[in-house]
Amino acid sequence: MKTAGLIGGVAWPSTLSYYRLLNEHIQRELGGLHSARCVIVSLDFAGVIAAMTEGRRDDARAQMETAARQARAAGAELIAILANTGHFAADAVQAAAGVPLVHVARETGDEIASRFPSMRRLGLLATSFALDAPFFGQMLGEGAGFELVLPDAAQRRTLDAAIFGPLARGEASPADAAVISTLCSALVARGAQGIVLGCTELSAVKPWIACAAPLFDSTDIHARAIVREMTRA
């Protein structure tokens, strides 16, 4: 098993979810008492989000590059960013680590295209930072052949308020899921055939989300892809 370097803390509840998923998938894959061999470098979310909000993307990127180097120094043989939003720095992180990076958008697009070859229009729920970054369009849209249906400006503000409020604090509730359900319905009404939960914090409310279209949890898809890379010969 390869050692995975995991850049987490953005925010901590999603890092907790990833750690659980990675170990569950490793146990299913290898059986017995096997668990995930990994190094977690946990960032201070307040510092990262402040840099992003204030337009200091270079500062946020530098924090993630430092985390990547720390993970590599601790023995990481592959790297993963445990947040969709953090993938704005994916290229820099991979360069800093010098090992393969498992990219959430690429893996999500590939899995949906493989399982649903006739699906063409995907709704995407993510932070404004992630929606504004090019990686979703490049890898989930153009790269996987999907047309993306995105929230409008007001819907993005609603989504950000939920993600950076209760969900980032680990306080998920059915009330938050109701907000997400409304956003899902709006994207389906505009032609989305499936909805990607493109933020790790949204996984916490998935069991309560009501949606007329299939939901694709990027966190679980990403975790399974990380495990495949960890166990690849």
CATH code: domain of residue 116? 3.40.50.1860
176 and 207 fall within a common domain: yes
- 119 and 137 part of one domain: yes
Claim to verify: residue 174 and residue 98 sit in the same structural domain: no
Tokens describing residue 227? 């495990």
Domain containing 187 equals 104-218
Q: Are residues 99 and 169 in the same domain?
A: no
Report the number of distinct structural domains present in the chain: 2
Rounded distance between C-alpha atoms, residue 78 and residue 80, angstroms? 7
180-185, long-range: CB < 8 A, 24+ apart: 180/125, 180/205, 180/209, 181/208, 181/209, 181/210, 181/211, 183/125, 183/151, 183/155, 183/158, 183/159, 184/123, 184/125, 184/209, 184/210, 184/211, 184/212, 184/213, 184/215, 185/211, 185/212
Q: Are residues 119 and 211 in the same domain?
A: yes
Q: What is the pLDDT of residues 10-63, one digit of tens each?
A: 888 889 999 999 999 999 999 999 999 999 999 999 999 899 889 898 999 999
Do residues 193 and 213 lie in contact, with contact meaning Cβ atoms separated by under 8 Å?
Answer: yes
Residue ranges of the chain whose pLDDT lies below 50: none
**Do both 121 and 178 map to the same domain?**
yes
Tell me the pTM: 0.93
Same domain, 181 and 108: yes
110 shares a domain with 74: no
**Cα distance between residue 38 and residue 79, in whole Å:** 10
Give the chain's mean pLDDT.
94
The confidence score (pLDDT) of residue 142 equals: 77
Q: Please count the other Cβ atoms lying within 10 Å of the Cβ belonging to residue 89.
A: 26
Which residues, 6 or more positions from 39, have their beta carbon under 8 angstroms from its beta carbon? 3, 4, 5, 6, 71, 74, 75, 76
Interval 171-185: pLDDT, tens: 888 899 999 999 999
pLDDT at position 177 is: 92
* pLDDT value for 145: 86
Alpha-carbon distance of 223 to 24, in angstroms, equals 10
Provide the H-helix boundaries in the chain.
Answer: 12-30, 45-53, 57-73, 90-97, 104-115, 128-132, 135, 153-162, 174-189, 218-231
Q: Hey, what are 207's tokens? A: 């069991």
91 & 22 share domain: yes
Does residue 91 sit in the same domain as residue 177?
A: no
174 with 114, same domain? yes
**The pLDDT of residue 70:** 98
Q: Reduced to 3 states, what is the DSSP secondary structure of residue 134?
A: coil
Q: What confidence score (pLDDT) does residue 42 get?
A: 97
